[in-house]
Structure 1
Amino acid sequence: EKHFARVLYTKHQAIQMQVTAGQLDAGADYNRNRDAMVAQGLITAARSKVIWQSAPLPNDAFAVSAALAKDAAFVKRLQGALTEVGPLLAGQANLLPANYTGFVVRDNTFYKPIRDAGLATGKLGAK
């Protein structure tokens, strides 16, 4: 908002579609989405160029309800099952979408870069 004439907040796919169609000059997205859209023929890679990438960020989190989180034994079994997915991908690539490598157990501090970015931009409020 400080450096651009117009800032648009929309869905990732919409950004890719509008940049490659020439409706927007630039957009922010994550590589996995762009790569998937190219692979599916939804956009043409040559119509946009990646000019900057962040350091690797935490990917998708797996959450349970507060009630279920109280069942520590179940949560531990679920975490174990999820961590087994990565090695299984070698023989069953369709277990996860393309470019996923599996899951790892992390505590909430792992997502600090995401929270910090949200707080810095004002898109996330402090608790």
Structure 2
Amino acid sequence: MITRRYFGGLAAAGVGAAAFGLSQPGRAQERRGGKIHLRCAIAPLRPTPAITVKEFEPVFAHVANEIGATYSLVSPESWAAISVAMSNGHIDLGWLGPWGYVLAHHRSGVEVVATAKYRGKPIYHAIVEGRPGLPIKRFPQDAKGLKLSLSDQGNTSGWLIPYAHLLKEGVDPRSFFQLREGATFGNNVMMIQQGLVDLGSNMDRGRYGMIEAGEMDPNKVQVYWTSDPLPNDAICVPKGFDPALKTRIRDIMVGLSEDKAQSLMGSGYNGFVAATHADYKIIEDAGQITGKLKV
């Protein structure tokens, strides 16, 4: 199993193609049966990799079909792991979290071509949820000493953004809270509902999805903090990827109507907009605040 640890730790540990079931990268675009083969990967948007692949594979299949390519698709259990794999050249087309994209961009020049839309918008919010009835009017000031669960350090809304917010508020998360790290959003919600933790990180689109899927009782999980708007997940290609193919992929994805896109993706996701690195500046800033990114 791919462990949930910080991007740099994963890289040092040698996370590579074997962890994803992928072949080693080559200089030229891989071909199978005379066709271009796209090695695709998607961040863990749903509670399990299997659910993620099931819900989002149609959009990757659509792109491959439009360019006359074959494809393979995997989803890791860690947001950090997919960033490392993208940086190491084991993925041709990746759906990365914003923080994972920024890390991969600085590590190896990974390029963003599009941003995913959720409910018609290319933005979302990080949130901190918790048991209803907690005496919190201001977060984090009123939450001292509570049990807080954050996600792995490769996760944008689950770790980076709330951690940066705490630091900006003058709070040392490790001494201010009973802090634990590494949980998935699904695990955070489960622990809140079972009373194992007081607070847990999530993202608003994840919350909506869990409620719609019956995986969360909104009466048992209350939102106590919401971030500023964040750019949605990044659709990326590695540095040096064929420019014409990159443009073609971007145009196919951006050209999807919202209805068509919704039919190809998990609930709530309904398209893409063209993107550049500048769209992810707020993520870079948070990376610098936490000390995880040196620019």
How many correspondences in the alignment?
Answer: 122
Quick one: which of 60, 70, 82 aligns to 2:253?
82
Greater percentage in helix: 1
Q: Which residues of structure 2 form unaligned runs of 5+?
A: 1-172
1:100 deviates by: 1.8
Greater percentage in strand: 2
Q: Which residue of 1 aligns with 2:279?
A: 110
- Distance change (3 Å), C-alpha of 1:100 and 1:118: same
Q: 9-18 vs 89-98, which deviates more? A: 89-98
Distance 1:101 1:52 in 2: 26
Runs of 4 or more, structure 1, over 6 Å off, are none
Say yes or no: does 1:93 pair with 2:262: yes
Helix, strand or coil at the partner of 1:82 = helix
The TM-score, its normalising length taken from structure 2, stands at 0.38
Q: How does 1:6-45 map to 2 (within 5 A)?
A: 6-45=179-218
Please give the root-mean-square deviation of Cα atoms over the aligned residues, in Å.
Answer: 1.9
Q: Which residue of 2 aligns with 1:126?
A: 294
Distance 2:288 2:185 in 1: 20
1:91 deviates by: 5.0
Q: Percent identity?
A: 29
Distance 1:81 1:91 in 2: 12
The amino acid across from 1:31 in the alignment is: D
The amino acid across from 2:279 in the alignment is: F
Distance 1:99 1:41 in 2: 15
1:29-74 CA-partner distances (Å, limit 9, x unpaired): 1011111112111221110111221122111111112242xx2221
Distance 1:76 1:102 in 2: 17
